[in-house]
């Protein structure tokens, strides 16, 4: 095998999990081996992460990889499902809010970081979800982590879908050792976990964790069945609605609305960063008492600066649009694009995961093949995010194509053509790389 092929083969191996628990006494050198592996991929065009856009997340955009190399093409890599990040009303409101309030909250929500805008936003979220109260967090990640760390103590239990987001897993790990995972979407397996816990512990709390829409597989649980199960075993349910709230359902209330569960879920946690054109997150709950407890005992709320005035104003404006005729039209356009992308992928012989949502995860399989596809895509004019082990199961690599209302039919056709061509070329690349090994093996 020549040196070029050897370098490529090396860059196609390994995963981030290999570097999760580095050794050695010198903490400042902990990143060295990871960086060597990362740089091997980077130098061979196989590191598709940490890219930057030049003018925002448009349907077509200019970007650069983390070496500064320019990329231009259709953008299926950004999370702006209703294409509201460039909405004229939102842009103008953000500018006017900065003129009035400045740019910084200058405090946590437990101190003086609130504004009349953030207070109004909390009321708006609670009303939208049919809940009594809501509390804001600086990011969606902070909300997911904070709701668990804020409520769960070391003697309590967390029972969670095995594909729950990292923020939820990290919150559980920080709160208790009593963590139990049930098979993805498997209500009966969750029941077994709850029954086992309650058979030996009737005194402590149980938090059950799931998501309205899972972002890697584009599927959803039976929320009503999960809530009923929690009632049966004296547990509390939290549903993360980061990827479906605002953009799915006739009224934009996501799968909680679709399943007629508005106001019926114990706790609803979400993020603004997918549909609402801003960073930030929230937890909606049933009582002022619980909201205030989270404000002072959820560390990612208590010890983080609150949303900036502009962020709060942007999300309020996004809610106005989402609940208007324009919002309904944007959701229809988004779903039209979702179904068009899925149909064109079918026609091109490309498979994908899950049910119709703004996340269309195209199946690749092996990490080696997926990385070679990722190397081809920028030159073919497509930005799409590679997802590989350990973010998904080994051998289940995929490209998470994130659809926006602002995509055109031409954008969608170009994206599918690029993905098909990149996959065909990557398979040839992989055959060429494996051929010398096979020849040597046969000769031996």
Output the six-digit token pair for 398.
């995929």
Residue 9: predicted pLDDT = 86
Q: CB atoms < 10 A from the CB of 116, how many?
A: 10
Stated pTM of the model: 0.94
In the chain, pLDDT over 70 holds for what percent of residues? 97
Residue 41: DSSP 8-state = H
pLDDT at position 3 is 62
Whether residue 183 is found in the same domain as residue 100:
yes
Q: How far is CA 431 from the centre of its chain?
A: 33
pLDDT of residue 327: 98
How far, in Å, CA of 417 to CA of 124, rounded? 42
Query: Beta strands 267-271 and 281-285: pairing type?
Result: antiparallel
5 belongs to a structural domain: no
Which helix (H) or strand (E) covers residue 416, if one does? helix 409-443
Residue-level pLDDT at 435: 76
Residues in the chain: 444
Answer whether residue 364 is part of any domain: yes
Provide the mean pLDDT of the chain: 95
- 8 A C-beta contact, residue 77 and residue 385: yes
Give the count of domains, the chain.
2
Do 55 and 94 have their domain in common? no
Confidence of residue 384 (pLDDT cuts 50, 70, 90): very high
Q: Are residues 61 and 126 in the same domain?
A: no
Q: Is the pLDDT of residue 195 over 50?
A: yes
Q: Are residues 128 and 262 in the same domain?
A: yes
Note whether 381 and 246 are same-domain residues: no
Q: Could you tell me where the DSSP H helices lie in 176-297? A: 187-200, 223-232, 254-258, 288-297
310 and 340 share a domain?
A: no
Judged by DSSP in three states, 382 sits in strand
**In contact, 117 and 313? CB cutoff 8 Å:** yes
| Residue closest to 318 by CA, chosen among 94, 58, 130, 127 | 94
279 and 385 part of one domain: no
Neighbour tally for 102: CB within 10 Å: 12
Instruction: Give yes or no: residues 282 and 336 share one domain.
Output: no
- Does residue 356 lie in a domain region? yes
CATH code of the domain covering residue 190? 3.40.640.10
Q: For 73-121, what is each residue's pLDDT tens digit?
A: 999 999 999 999 999 999 999 999 999 999 999 999 999 999 999 999 9
| CB proximity list for 133: less than 8 A, separation 6 or greater | 122, 126, 284, 285, 286, 287, 288, 290, 291
Residue 444 reports pLDDT greater than 50: no
- 439, pLDDT greater than 70: no
Asked whether residue 345 falls in the same domain as residue 303, the answer is no
**3, part of any domain:** no
Per-residue confidence band for 1, with pLDDT thresholds at 50, 70 and 90: very low
> Is 171 a member of any domain?
yes
Domain hosting 105: range is: 88-322
4, pLDDT greater than 70: no
250 and 385 assigned to the same domain: no
Q: Is the pLDDT of residue 442 over 80?
A: no
Residues 286 and 391 occupy one common structural domain = no
pLDDT at 431 over 70: yes
CATH number for position 372? 3.90.1150.10
Q: Hunting for tokens 């200019």 — which residue is that? A: 62
257-309 confidence digits (pLDDT tens): 999 999 999 999 999 999 999 999 999 999 999 999 999 999 999 999 999 99
Does position 436 have pLDDT exceeding 80, yes or no? no
Label residue 2 by pLDDT band (50, 70, 90).
Answer: low
d(CA 365, CA 360): 15
110 and 51 within one domain: no
Bigger pLDDT: 1 vs 66: 66
Residue 440 confidence (pLDDT) = 40
- CA atoms within 13 Å, Cβ hemisphere of 221: 33
């Amino acid at each position: 095998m020549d040196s070029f092929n050897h370098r490529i083969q090396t860059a196609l191996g390994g995963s981030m999990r290999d570097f999760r628990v580095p050794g050695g006494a010198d903490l400042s050198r902990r990143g060295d081996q990871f960086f060597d592996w990362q740089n091997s991929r980077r130098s061979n065009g196989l590191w598709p992460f940490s890219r930057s856009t030049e003018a925002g997340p448009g349907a077509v955009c200019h970007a650069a990889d983390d070496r500064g190399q320019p990329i231009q093409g259709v953008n299926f890599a950004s999370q702006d499902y209703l294409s509201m990040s460039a909405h004229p009303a939102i842009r103008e409101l953000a500018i006017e809010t900065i003129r009035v309030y400045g740019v910084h909250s200058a405090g946590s929500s437990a101190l003086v970081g609130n504004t009349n805008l953030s207070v109004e936003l909390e009321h708006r979220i609670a009303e939208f979800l049919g809940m009594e109260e809501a509390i804001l967090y600086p990011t969606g990640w902070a909300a997911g982590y904070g709701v668990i760390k804020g409520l769960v103590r070391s003697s309590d239990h967390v029972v969670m879908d095995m594909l729950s987001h990292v923020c939820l897993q990290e919150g559980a790990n920080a709160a208790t050792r009593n963590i139990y995972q049930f098979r993805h979407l498997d209500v009966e397996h969750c029941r077994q976990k709850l029954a086992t816990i309650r058979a030996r512990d009737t005194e402590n709390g149980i938090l059950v964790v799931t998501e309205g829409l899972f972002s890697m597989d584009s599927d959803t649980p039976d929320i009503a069945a999960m809530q009923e199960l929690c009632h049966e075993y004296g547990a509390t349910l939290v549903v993360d609605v980061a990827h479906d709230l605002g953009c799915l359902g006739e009224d934009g209330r996501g799968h909680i609305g679709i399943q007629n569960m508005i106001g019926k879920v114990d706790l609803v946690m979400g993020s603004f960063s997918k549909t609402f054109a801003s960073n930030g997150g929230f937890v909606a709950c049933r009582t002022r008492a619980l909201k205030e407890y989270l404000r002072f005992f959820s560390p990612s709320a208590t010890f983080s600066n609150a949303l900036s005035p502009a962020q709060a104003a942007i999300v309020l404006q996004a809610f106005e649009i989402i609940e208007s005729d324009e919002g309904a039209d944007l959701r229809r356009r988004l779903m039209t694009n979702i179904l068009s992308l899925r149909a064109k992928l079918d026609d091109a012989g490309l498979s994908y995961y899950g049910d119709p949502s703004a996340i269309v995860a195209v199946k690749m399989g092996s990490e080696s093949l997926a990385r070679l596809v990722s190397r081809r895509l920028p030159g073919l004019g497509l930005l799409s995010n590679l997802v590989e082990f350990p973010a998904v199961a080994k051998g289940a690599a995929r490209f998470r194509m994130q659809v926006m209302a602002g995509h055109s039919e031409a954008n969608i056709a170009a994206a599918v053509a690029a993905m098909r061509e990149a996959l065909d070329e990557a398979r040839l690349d992989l055959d060429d790389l494996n051929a010398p090994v096979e020849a040597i093996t046969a000769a031996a």
